[in-house]
Amino acid sequence: MGSIIDGKAFADRLSESLKLEVASLIANHNLQPSIAVVLVGDDPASHVYVRNKVRRCEQLGIESIEHRLPSSTSQEELLTLIEQMNQDSNINGILVQLPVPDQIDDKAVIDAIAPEKDVDGFHILNAGALAVGQNQMIPCTPLGSLMLLKDQLGNLSGMHAVVIGRSNIVGKPMASLLLQENCTVTTVHSRTRNIEEICRTADILVAAVGIPRMVKADWVKEGATIIDVGINRIEEDGKSRLVGDVDFADVIDKVNAATPVPGGVGPMTIACLMYNTVAAAKKQAGIS
Ligand code: GUN
């Protein structure tokens, strides 16, 4: 049986070290890192994500400023708020929870955030920097996934990594990070032919598609390491439960190691958001 990659334990360790760093920044530099979190509308999943992010901030001593705006908010109103926060030197990080309502163009919103405050790493300048290997702010989910892979496998050089999904939030930055680690990287997506066959050649398989339990045992190579980014809510046996893009029970006997859902990549995403916020605060204050 493969090992279960405990993302929650890793995230707790990272958070513990960030908590110490925050305490030291406050004591030695009078600097309390801060993040503004903006939630537009009433998407229930987004509310849960934002609540978890704010709670983590409190645990680590990071200041969080919440803006909850109605679903009728116009793009102009949101851009005005972002501009105010860009100018506010007491705010180190800005996060607008996605998705935003239809009347708002998410690209315009992301690119309105000052790149040095873009703790999501979604701004076009941060995305471009990552693509050319001059990393600035790295998106949290791929960063957390890479930390788990390196912790599990050490040097990733020469391994064949297959990333399922090509989103700007996960798939594309994940592929860039794995390339930087000298993996041979293949990105597969909804138009890929022979997707299962390609996945079966992966030493590292990262699933980020949003299809519940899509990856089965016959999709994976024996001894592969699996990172499941999916968080899908399904109804099963009369209960609501969270499942990944990988059929964990089906693959675990065949693989070297795999992340569970929940308790795998999810906690790492939040821990890396805290990591990016602390890094942004230090950089803005000129602390190395
Ligand atoms: N919605 C789903 N995931 C994310 C994320 O990582 N950041 C933001 N801002 N919105 C999201």
Return phi, psi of residue 165, to 5°: 115, 145
Q: For the segment 42-66, what is each residue's pLDDT rounded down to a tens digit?
A: 999 999 999 999 999 999 999 999 9
Neighbours of 160 (CB within 10 A): 17
pLDDT for position 228: 98
Contact 35, 92 (CB under 8 A): yes
Please identify which residue in the block is written with the tokens 């680690």.
181
pTM of this structure: 0.98
Q: For the segment 7-32, what is each residue's pLDDT rounded down to a tens digit?
A: 999 999 999 999 999 999 999 999 99
Q: Which atom of ligand 1 is nearest to the CA of 96?
A: 9
Query: Whose CA is closest to atom 8 on ligand 1?
Result: 97
pLDDT for position 264: 98
Strand partners, 228: 207
Q: Which residues lie closer than 8 Å to 4 by C-beta, 6 or more apart? A: 252, 257, 258, 259, 260
pLDDT for position 87: 98
Confidence of residue 137 (pLDDT cuts 50, 70, 90): very high
Confidence of residue 180 (pLDDT cuts 50, 70, 90): very high
- Token pair recorded at residue 49: 């994500």
- Tell me if residue 12 is catalytic: no
Mean pLDDT of the chain: 98
- Tell me if residue 172 is catalytic: no
Strand partners, 233: 242
Query: What one-character DSSP code corresponds to residue 137?
Result: S
| Pairwise CA distance, residues 212 & 13, whole Å | 29
Contact 271, 11 (CB under 8 A): yes
Percent of the chain with pLDDT strictly greater than 70:
100
Q: Is 210 left (phi over 0), alpha (psi -120 to 50) or beta?
A: left
Q: Quick one: which of 279, 235, 170 has its CA closest to 288? A: 279
For a mutational test of ligand 1's pocket, the pick from 35, 40, 49, i.e. the residue with the most ligand atoms closer than 8 A to its C-beta, is 49
Residue 54: in which H helix or E strand, if any?
Answer: helix 44-60
pLDDT for position 39: 98
pLDDT for position 201: 98
| Pairwise CA distance, residues 264 & 148, whole Å | 9
Domains in the chain: boundaries: 30-117, 140-267
**The CATH fold of domain 30-117:** Rossmann fold (3.40.50)
> Which residues does a 6 A CB cutoff place in the pocket of ligand 1?
95-98, 120, 140-141, 169
The hierarchical CATH code for the domain 140-267 is 3.40.50.720
Alpha helices in the chain (DSSP H): 7-29, 44-60, 75-87, 106-112, 124-131, 140-153, 171-180, 195-199, 248-251, 265-285
Q: For the segment 187-200, what is each residue's pLDDT rounded down to a tens digit?
A: 999 999 999 999 99
Neighbours of 19 (CB within 10 A): 16
- Tell me if residue 150 is catalytic: no
Contact 37, 66 (CB under 8 A): yes
Please identify which residue in the block is written with the tokens 């090509």.
166
Q: For the segment 220-268, what is each residue's pLDDT rounded down to a tens digit?
A: 999 999 999 999 999 999 999 999 999 999 999 999 999 999 999 999 9
pLDDT for position 146: 99
